[in-house]
Chains A and B, each alone.
Chain A
C-alpha cells in the first residue's frame, strides 16, 4: 500500500492488527457490488464502531474480515492480518485449512441473532467441546477457560453449560455466544449487530461487559450496528457506511461532535436525541440505493442538498478533515456550515459522548 493511500485514509493508525485495503464483494459476476472498495485499518486493542443503515453492506464487511462471504459472493482486495507488529498474513490468500485455524483462533465473530447461532438439539457444553476439539485444543484447559469466560459474563457456568439453547433467555444466549467466540483466545472479535435482538437494558449491560472483556483479554473489537447512539459511547473510532462504502471515519468523539460528511450529519439529525425537540428530528430524505443500481459519482448525490455536477460525475476521494478523520465528500467544508445539526454540543469537538 502506498503512502498516499495511507494518508488518504486519514487514519493515524500506528499498529494495525488488521488492514483492509480496497475490499469489494460482488455478486452476479461482478454486476452488483455489496461492498465497494473499503479501505480501513483497525488499530490493535481499539474498538472500531461501524454504523450504517440496513442493507448498506455492514455484514459483508464483517464477513470479509474472516473471508466468510456467503456464496456465491466474490471477495477481492486485501485483508492483512498482523498477529504481532512484525508479522503479516494475507487472509484472502490462505488455504482452506489455514483459514480454519485463523477463524476463531485469531479472528472470531459474534453474529446477529444469538438465538439462532446454537444448534437447537445440542447442549451449550457440546458447542464448546466440539469447538475446542476442532482446533486441537486441550479440552480440559479450554473448558476451564470457558467457565471463567461465562463467569466474567455473569453467568453460572455449570447451569449454562448443561442447558439446551432454548432453555436460556436471549441475553443469556448472547453472552454464552460471546463466551464461545472467545474460548480460543482470539486477538480480534468481530461483532455483527450483537445486541439487535435484545432489549435496551440488556444491550447496555452487554456493552459494559464487552468493555470489561476488552481490558481483561487485550481484545480488538469491530462492532457493527445500525444503532448510532449505542456504538458512539463504546467505540474509540467510528466509521459510517453508506451504499457499500465507508463515507466517513474518525475518532468517535469527532464523528459525533463535528460530523463532516453530509450523510453523517443527516443521519445524526435523524437520530432521536433528548436535547433536540421532536419537531426538529428529520429523516434522511429519499432511499438508499440497492446493490444493482448504485448512482455514479458520489453514491449519496441523489439525496444530498449540496450535490453539484462534480458529485454526479466523479467519485469523491477521502478528504482529510483533521488528523485521523476523513470524509469522502467534495463539499465537506460547506457541509459543516450548510447542514445544521439539531443537537447541542455539536461543532465543539467531542463532549457529545
Chain B
C-alpha cells in the first residue's frame, strides 16, 4: 500500500511536470512552425532557438495586471479558468505511456491510474472541460464572450456523439475499456488504425472540434468574436485557458496514439511487449509514445496554419449531417463484420483478422471519399443558389 501511494505520487508529480513543460514547449513549437510555414523565422531571441520564450511569456503573464470587469459574476469569473484547466490535466491520468518499470519493490505501471473504466473516464472529463469555457463566457457579462461559450457547448455536444461512436468501434475490437488492455491488444497483432481506418478519420475530425482548434475554433474566432470566451481575461487567468487548450491537444494526441496507433508499442517487434520488463524497455517504449504524440501535435499545428475557419452553420451541418450518420453507419458495418469474422468464421483477433477489416475499410473509404469529394457536404458561400 505504501509502495502504491509513493509510486503514484511520484508518477503524478512527474507526469504533471512533463505535461506543463510539454505545453510550454508546444506554444513555442506552434509559433515557430507557424512562422516557418509563412516563410518567417518566429521567436528565436530568448535563449538558443528561442527555447526560453515560454518562460519569458509565463513571467510576463504573472506580472501583468489582473482585470475584473465591473459587471462580471465574480465567483464564476474566477472559477472558470480553473474549471477548464483542471479537467484538461486530469484526462491524461489514465493514459498508459510505457511498459511497466521494474523496481526492487515490484513493477510500476507506467500510467498514473490504471482505471478499469479508463476510456469512459476520458470521455467524461473531456466533456467537462467545456464547462470552464461556458462559465467564462457567461461570467464575463459580455455578449461576444457569451456567444463564444454557447458555441463551445453546442460544438462539444455535436461532435462528442461522433467521437463516442467512432471509439465504440475500437472498444468492440479490443473487447475492453481499459486503455492498457487496448494497447496490449494492438501490441499483440496490428494497430487499430488499419482495421478501423474510418473510425480514426471520424475520431480525428471530432478531436479537432473537441479541442477547439482550427478549423473548428468557433468559440474564440478572433475575427468575429474578438477571442470569444476569454475576451475579458488577462494575465495568468488568460494564460490558464491557453494551457488548458494545449493540454487538451496533448491529451487528444495521446488518446489517438493509444486508441489507434498502438500506444507505447514499437512496431515490427515483440521485444518491447513481452516480460520480463526492463528499464531499457520502459525508456524505449516511452520514447516511441512521445514520438507518436509529437507527430499528432505537429498535425494539429499543421492543420491550424493551413485551413480557414468553418462558418457556424457549416460546422453544425458537418457535425450532424455528415459525422453522426457516418459514425453510426460505420459502427453498424464494423459490428456486423466483427460478428461474421468472430462467430461465423471463428477467427480470433490477429494480424489476418486486422487485415481483413482493413480491406473492408478500404472498400468503404473509396465510395465515401468519392461522395465527400464530389461535393454536397459543406455549404459553399452561395449555397442559396442551389437548383
| Chain A partners chain B | no
A interface residues, Cβ below 8 angstroms from B: none
B interface residues, Cβ below 8 angstroms from A: none
